[in-house]
């Protein structure tokens, strides 16, 4: 009897301790994976699981079902590490998240790994599940799928009751900006339903807030960048970049660009500063005749060369500058279908990495009179930036273009920054001579360059396609397209 009593007292002590622990430290239950699992069980829900279907032939699609919780980040990392072939997460039913902090970093992980998201037939995401869906690099949905949104609440009042400038909004706005979703989307979710209910997005809303990416926007730009930065192109080193020349020339031909003197390819000699030897480079140049001002020219240029193979290692240069080259190509195609008012010269410059030799040759031996070139637009490295930031360089010496950029920047969720173009500004590197804009600038030809800050893979063999950010890249190209269209129709003087 005594023994039993002792046992009873011991059990009671443990129970009291556990209750006290939970009472004083409720986060033990609410933030632990086990506690969250239990809580979900009580409300007849289950935690997010990742799986492949039994009959699945290729395991490039990973399925996800359940509520995002404390372990979801680890689960995502583990399953993606074990299955590097996965390109898409199909969200079967993800009704929300029980751990907002984890949801945020898990979603960032999806974007960082360039994984796409998909809503299959009868698929459903809501609340935190919708936020995670938005992390997909490409996002698609079956027409029967549903996306639910609502406001948040801190227990006292809903997000819509806090003024717009209240700091409580910041982490959400930052997240949508990072995911390149218009911030209007956030204010809409606050208004459209309170925290305790849900609003299912209409097709018009899905379109308006750019919830899904479109196939057309995704495919050509990215596939060109991917091709140019694939191993077969051997890093596009000057003198050994025939494969890139062939791709660009064929593309110009297919879309029907006009040629100067019967040829897209223009070969030139230059002195290699390192070896003092004469080498040969090849620019590839085509043009579209303007409808209103055929004798006034805008140059749209990007260097296509990169560092080639160094000590047996291929430097693919996906960002530097397969990104700019692919952008130049799709823009050329766009303007063959949407005829410009000015003539536009599209130029893929060679030997930029060796000292801007292609663009130097171009301005020394221009296909048209230099005085008829009204503007040079240059892109160099435009497919990745962790801060969603793109620099527009050249508005300091050519301020007439600043209002145009400011106007179009308002239509973009990118952070559009100015600078690197004032020689007196010692806080930033001076970029007016660091890319193919340099030779144009030297001749006094107005020029605007789109470029991002250097990144850890800059001029490294890891500047690979998989490390770029297609959503950011696409937005930059949209911004450039609007810029060219605007200056072409309302040329600022």
Place of tokens 């990973």: 62
Interface with Zn ion, residue 463, by CB under 5 A? no
In the complex, minimum distance from the CB of residue 118 to Zn ion, in angstroms, rounded to a whole number: 34
Strand partners, 393: 449
Binding mask 269-308 for Zn ion (x = CB under 5 A): ----------------------------------------
Q: Which span sits near Zn ion by CB under 5 A: 116-124, 318-326, 355-363, 481-489?
A: 318-326
| Omega before 82 within 30 of 0, i.e. cis | no
Distance CA 440, CA 301 (A): 11
**8 Å CB contact between 322 and 247:** no
Q: How long, in residues, is the chain? A: 493
What is the DSSP track for 193-221? S-TTS-EEPPHHHHHHTT-S--HHHHHHH
Please choose, from the candidates 87, 107, 91, the residue with its C-alpha nearest in 3D space to the C-alpha of residue 99. 107
Cβ proximity to Zn ion: between 303 and 333 the closer is: 303
Question: If residue 14 lies in a helix (H) or strand (E), which one and from where to where?
Answer: helix 2-24
In the complex, minimum distance from the CB of residue 273 to Zn ion, in angstroms, rounded to a whole number: 17
Place of tokens 């269209």: 485
Residue from the set 75, 99, 320, 436 that interacts with Zn ion by CB under 5 A = 320
Interface with Zn ion, residue 376, by CB under 5 A? no
Cβ proximity to Zn ion: between 169 and 303 the closer is: 303
Interface with Zn ion, residue 380, by CB under 5 A? yes
Q: Which span sits near Zn ion by CB under 5 A: 137-145, 162-170, 179-187, 313-321?
A: 313-321
Cβ proximity to Zn ion: between 178 and 380 the closer is: 380
Cβ proximity to Zn ion: between 62 and 392 the closer is: 392
Cβ proximity to Zn ion: between 72 and 449 the closer is: 449
Q: Which of residues 85-104 bind Zn ion (CB under 5 A)?
A: none
Interface with Zn ion, residue 421, by CB under 5 A? no
Cβ proximity to Zn ion: between 151 and 321 the closer is: 321
Q: Which span sits near Zn ion by CB under 5 A: 68-76, 183-191, 284-292, 374-382?
A: 374-382
Cβ proximity to Zn ion: between 298 and 381 the closer is: 381
E-strand spans in 44-172?
49-51, 61-65, 88-94, 116-119, 124-126, 139-141, 146-149
3-state secondary structure of 86: coil
Site size with Zn ion, rule: CB under 5 A: 3
Cβ proximity to Zn ion: between 93 and 320 the closer is: 320
Q: Which span sits near Zn ion by CB under 5 A: 177-185, 232-240, 317-325, 480-488?
A: 317-325
In the complex, minimum distance from the CB of residue 352 to Zn ion, in angstroms, rounded to a whole number: 6
Interface with Zn ion, residue 321, by CB under 5 A? yes
In the complex, minimum distance from the CB of residue 321 to Zn ion, in angstroms, rounded to a whole number: 4
Please choose, from the candidates 281, 280, 282, 298, the residue with its C-alpha nearest in 3D space to the C-alpha of residue 290. 298
Cβ proximity to Zn ion: between 226 and 236 the closer is: 236
Judge residue 279's burial from the number of C-beta atoms within 10 Å of its C-beta, 0-12 exposed, 13-18 middle, 19 or more buried: middle
What is the DSSP track for 419-470? -S--TT-TTS---TTSSTHHHHHHTT--EEEEE----TTTTSTT--GGGS-H
Q: Which span sits near Zn ion by CB under 5 A: 184-192, 222-230, 252-260, 321-329?
A: 321-329
In the complex, minimum distance from the CB of residue 356 to Zn ion, in angstroms, rounded to a whole number: 10
Residues with Cβ within 8 Å of 478's Cβ and at least 6 positions away in sequence, in order, are 412
Q: Which span sits near Zn ion by CB under 5 A: 95-103, 148-156, 227-235, 320-328?
A: 320-328
Structure tokens at 396: 């300091």
Strand partners, 447: 376
Q: Which residues bind Zn ion (CB under 5 A)?
A: 320-321, 380
């Amino acid at each position: 009897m005594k023994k039993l009593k002792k046992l009873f007292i011991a059990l009671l002590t443990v129970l009291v301790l556990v209750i006290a622990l939970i009472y004083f430290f409720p986060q033990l239950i609410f933030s632990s994976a086990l506690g969250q699992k239990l809580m979900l069980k009580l409300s007849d829900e289950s935690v997010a699981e990742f799986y492949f279907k039994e009959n699945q032939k290729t395991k490039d699609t990973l399925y996800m079902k359940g509520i995002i919780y404390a372990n979801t980040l680890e689960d995502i990392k583990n399953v993606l590490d074990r299955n590097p072939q996965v390109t898409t997460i199909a969200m079967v039913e993800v009704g929300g998240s029980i751990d907002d902090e984890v949801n945020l970093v898990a979603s960032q992980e999806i974007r960082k790994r360039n994984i796409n998201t998909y809503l299959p037939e009868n698929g459903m995401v809501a609340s935190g599940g919708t936020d995670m869906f938005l992390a997909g690099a490409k996002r698609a949905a079956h027409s029967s799928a549903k996306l639910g949104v609502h406001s948040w609440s801190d227990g006292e009042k809903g997000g819509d009751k806090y003024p717009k400038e209240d700091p409580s909004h910041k982490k959400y706005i930052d997240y949508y900006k990072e995911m390149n979703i218009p911030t209007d989307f956030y204010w809409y979710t606050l208004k459209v339903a309170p925290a305790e209910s849900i609003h299912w997005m209409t097709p018009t809303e899905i379109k308006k807030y750019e919830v899904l990416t479109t196939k057309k926007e995704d495919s050509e730009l990215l596939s060109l960048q991917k091709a140019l930065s694939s191993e077969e192109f051997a890093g596009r080193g000057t003198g050994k970049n025939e494969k890139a020349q062939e791709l660009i020339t064929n593309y110009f031909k297919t879309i029907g660009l006009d040629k100067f003197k019967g040829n897209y390819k223009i070969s030139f000699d230059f002195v290699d500063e390192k070896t003092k030897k004469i080498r040969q480079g090849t620019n590839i140049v085509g043009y579209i005749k303007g409808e209103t001002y055929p004798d006034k020219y805008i140059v749209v240029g990007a260097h296509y060369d990169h560092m080639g193979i160094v000590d047996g290692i291929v430097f693919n240069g996906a960002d530097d500058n397969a990104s700019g080259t692919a952008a130049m190509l799709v823009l050329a195609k766009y303007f063959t279908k949407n005829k410009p008012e000015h003539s536009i010269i599209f130029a893929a410059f060679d030997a930029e990495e060796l000292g801007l030799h292609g663009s130097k040759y171009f301005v020394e031996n221009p296909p048209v009179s230099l005085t008829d070139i009204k503007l040079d637009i240059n892109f160099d490295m435009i497919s990745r930036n962790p801060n969603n930031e793109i620099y527009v360089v050249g508005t300091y010496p050519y301020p007439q273009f600043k209002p145009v950029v400011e106007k179009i920047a308002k239509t973009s969720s990118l952070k559009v920054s100015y600078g690197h173009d004032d020689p007196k500004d010692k806080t930033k590197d001076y970029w007016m001579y660091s890319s193919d804009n340099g030779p144009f600038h030297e001749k006094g030809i107005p020029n605007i360059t789109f470029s991002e800050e250097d990144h850890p893979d800059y001029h490294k063999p890891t500047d690979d396609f998989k490390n770029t950010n297609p959503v950011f890249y696409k937005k930059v190209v949209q911004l450039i397209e609007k810029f060219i269209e605007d200056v072409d129709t309302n040329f600022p003087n």
